[in-house]
Chains A and B, each alone.
Chain A
Amino acid sequence: MINSKFFFKGFKSIKGVGSPAIALGASFIAIGALLKNLGFSVQESIFSTFMIYALPGSLVMAESMLIGASLVNIFLAVWLVNARLYPMTVALMPLLMHKDQPRWKYYLSCHFIAVSSWLIVKDNYELIEKENRIDFWIGIGTATWSVAIFSTVIGYIASDFLNKDILIGLAIINPIYFTCMMLGAMKTIQISLSVVFGAILGPAFYFFSPEWCILFGGFIAGTVAFLIGERNGQ
């Protein structure tokens, strides 16, 4: 059903110099502590990372609960903040799909799409022949997802020991990791321009709309980068 050789090849991505484990661990430790302070039980915290596995979504959920937002508002806020997962999925799945593979694998494994796992598979998919990529991806996804769930538990248990200074240290790890990964991914004109324009327009649009700046900024930046890249032969 799942080729274990390629699954474990993907699973091993959490080891080594490119490991996302520290970055993922740091953020989900913070999430675990946050959920505990919100009144979640340890089971509920585990369930939440198990089911959501998207950092900004969990943060929005926590913020919404603090202000007592309605379920509809929580749904809309989370959907908006996680809408970036849509272009990420469209930009990944065609690379993994193969006619010999069952479709359920795509619909199940799309749950693993998060920034870290996505950047890893985008960086490494060419090493694997197309037929086996989905199993390789499921390995990467399972590994990063497990780290996230495990770290949530650690954060929950350790929350009393996590003071403000430690939390600030944990909070910077993720953006630094992602920044470095993005810089490493800038291999074509289109991707390089997308990253540079996105980095400028995202914060710039914040002055007009903090809620929509990432989607608006990202959309315009990506489209302009695409058009310039196409004109220059990618």
Chain B
Amino acid sequence: MANNILIVILVTSFATYLSRFLGVVSAEKIKETSKMFRWFNCLAYSTLAALITRIVIFPSGSLNEIDYSIRFTVVVLSIAIFFITKKNLVYPTLFSAIILSVFSSYL
């Protein structure tokens, strides 16, 4: 099993590094002022937004046990705190964790 775990880690890291590596290869031919660059910039932001909302709406791990409406409320409140605290990232993240743990243990 020990060998297996090492091989699985190496396979996973290779699969992950591949996209990063190919990204650098492509980037060497792309100027930051080009249309191509702006397109990839849009793709990167949209893919991240898709990933994040998917995690909140269709979570795979422990978040799955929390009701959709509670998750939604926590996200909206955290965003409100983010803007109220002049874009401080520490308050909304801590708030979300504490409130969700409390919801999870008492509801």
Which chain A residues have a beta carbon within 8 Å of chain B's beta carbons? 17-20, 22-23, 26, 30, 39-41, 44, 47-48, 51-54, 56-61, 63-65, 71, 74-76, 78-79, 82-95, 97, 103, 106-107, 110-111, 113, 115, 118-119, 164-185, 190-191, 193-203, 205-206, 210, 213-215, 217-219, 221-223, 225-226, 229-230, 234
Query: In the complex the two chains form, is A164's CB within 8 Å of B104's CB?
Result: yes
Question: Which residues of B have CB within 8 Å of A179?
Answer: 52, 56, 75, 78-79
Query: In the complex the two chains form, is A199's CB within 8 Å of B53's CB?
Result: yes
Nearest CB of A to B30, in Å: 5
The size of the chain B interface, using a CB distance under 8 A, is 78
Tell me the interface secondary structure of chain B in the complex: helix
Question: Which residues of A have CB within 8 Å of B58?
Answer: 203, 206, 210
Query: In the complex the two chains form, is A56's CB within 8 Å of B100's CB?
Result: no
**Of the candidates A26, A107, A115, A178, which one forms a contact with B97 in the assembled complex, judged by CB atoms under 8 Å apart?**
A26
CA distance A71 to B9 in the complex (A): 10
Question: Which residues of B have CB within 8 Å of A59?
Answer: 60-61
Q: Which chain A residue shows the least CB distance to B29?
A: A94
Nearest CB of A to B5, in Å: 5
Question: Which residues of A have CB within 8 Å of B89?
Answer: 17-20, 22-23, 177, 180-181
Question: Which residues of A have CB within 8 Å of B42?
Answer: 190-191, 193-194, 222-223, 225-226, 229
Given contact pairs A51-B13, A58-B12, A59-B60, A86 touches B19 in the complex (Cβ within 8 A): yes
Q: Which chain A residue shows the least CB distance to B96?
A: A176
Question: Which residues of A have CB within 8 Å of B96?
Answer: 169, 172-173, 176
Query: In the complex the two chains form, is A61's CB within 8 Å of B8's CB?
Result: yes
User: Which among B16, B22, B38, B50 has the highest number of chain A CB atoms within 10 Å?
Assistant: B50
CA distance A59 to B18 in the complex (A): 18
